[in-house]
Amino acid sequence: MPWLSRYGVQVSVLRTDKVHPVVSGNKWFKLKYYLEEANRLQKKDIVTYGGAYSNHLVATAAACQQLGFKSIGVIRGEEPKHYSHTLKDALGYGMALQFISREQYRRKQWPNWLTDSGFYHIPTGGYGPLGVQGAATIPYEKDKFDTLVCAVGTGTMLAGLMNGKAVGAKVVGISMFKNNFSLEAETRALLTDTAATLHLVQGYHFGGYARFTPELLGFMNDLYAQTGVPTDFVYTGKLFYAVADLIEKRYFSGGERVLVVHCGGLQGNLSLPKGQLNF
């Protein structure tokens, strides 16, 4: 890539998207300790939460099916006329869906039947102590990199990578949300070193969560044509775009060894109109 060679920054990609075809990327790592705990507590039903484009929902549904749990997805927003691919896939993996108005979801006003003591609850996006513990186990050669860069939704993966990093290494998170003012505090709440510097980069959301522009899709197509790395339009396309742009803006120094964490999410591209991507 022309943007790569210009300033001598060394970029490697950690392909966590290849960990599992559906329980892809960071979701595998964020879910594992929750599911282990559910198993230990002999729970049969897993309840989790998310929006209509949540990779976390599909990953949870697929993992539950594989492990023999029943799964229930509590979905933000009224039931749509046409289900997103994400919702269809979650249903296909046996997840029962419960739609909740945005207002009630925000206030965490869940229907009474969800408080059944037999249910095991995994928070939205796997955010929480067990999620961050799992994210800290994302494996890579720690002595080989100065800087990790990852996409940020709830901040769970960012916090996990920070908790697990080598001393002196830096982790940079690219926020995928517009105006998520609580993100910094929520990420910090998961850190073992609560005084650590958070490197959160804003401004690469392309209009907001799950929004996209022709420029973004063009970049993703070029990246794939030149490197064979497929990305998704919700997270990793914006992540790589940010890396390219930050290199151009001299955010990284010459010789800096940067590891971009490809955190999965490729299933999200099924929501794009056909013919937009060359992969």
Query: Angle at which helices 236-248 and 214-227 pack, to 10 degrees?
Result: 80
Q: Does residue number 156 form part of the binding site for ligand PLP (CB under 6 A)?
A: yes
Q: Which stretch binds ligand PLP (CB under 6 A): 41-49, 67-75, 104-112, 149-157?
A: 149-157
- Binding letters toward ligand PLP, positions 242-271, x by CB under 6 A: ---------------------xxx------
Contact pick of 86, 154, 180, 269 for ligand PLP (by CB under 6 A): 154
Q: Virtual CA dihedral for 132, 268, 151, 177, nearest 10 degrees?
A: -100
Residue/partner pairs of 138-146 with CB below 8 Å, 24 or more apart: 138/14, 138/16, 138/26, 138/29, 138/164, 138/261, 140/14, 140/259, 142/166, 142/169, 144/12, 144/257, 144/259, 145/12, 145/169, 145/257, 145/258, 145/259, 146/170, 146/256, 146/257, 146/258
| Cα–Cα distance measured from residue 83 to residue 173, given in angstroms and rounded to the nearest whole number | 31
Contact pick of 35, 50, 55, 133 for ligand PLP (by CB under 6 A): 55
Name which of 234 and 247 has its Cβ closer to ligand PLP: 234
Contact pick of 50, 73, 125, 134 for ligand PLP (by CB under 6 A): 125
Contact pick of 163, 180, 236, 269 for ligand PLP (by CB under 6 A): 236
Name which of 44 and 106 has its Cβ closer to ligand PLP: 106
Q: Does residue number 128 form part of the binding site for ligand PLP (CB under 6 A)?
A: no
Pick from 21, 46, 18: nearest CA to 34: 46
Q: Does residue number 235 form part of the binding site for ligand PLP (CB under 6 A)?
A: yes
Q: Does residue number 190 form part of the binding site for ligand PLP (CB under 6 A)?
A: no
Q: Does residue number 84 form part of the binding site for ligand PLP (CB under 6 A)?
A: no
Q: Does residue number 157 form part of the binding site for ligand PLP (CB under 6 A)?
A: yes
Q: Does residue number 230 form part of the binding site for ligand PLP (CB under 6 A)?
A: no
Name which of 237 and 255 has its Cβ closer to ligand PLP: 237
Task: List the Cα angle 48/54/58 in 5-degree steps.
Answer: 65
Name which of 111 and 279 has its Cβ closer to ligand PLP: 279
The SS3 assignment for 214 reads helix
Pick from 57, 46, 49: nearest CA to 23: 57
Pick from 41, 195, 190, 188: nearest CA to 129: 190
Name which of 155 and 164 has its Cβ closer to ligand PLP: 155
- The binding site for ligand PLP (CB under 6 A) comprises 25-27, 55-56, 125, 151-158, 235-236, 263-265
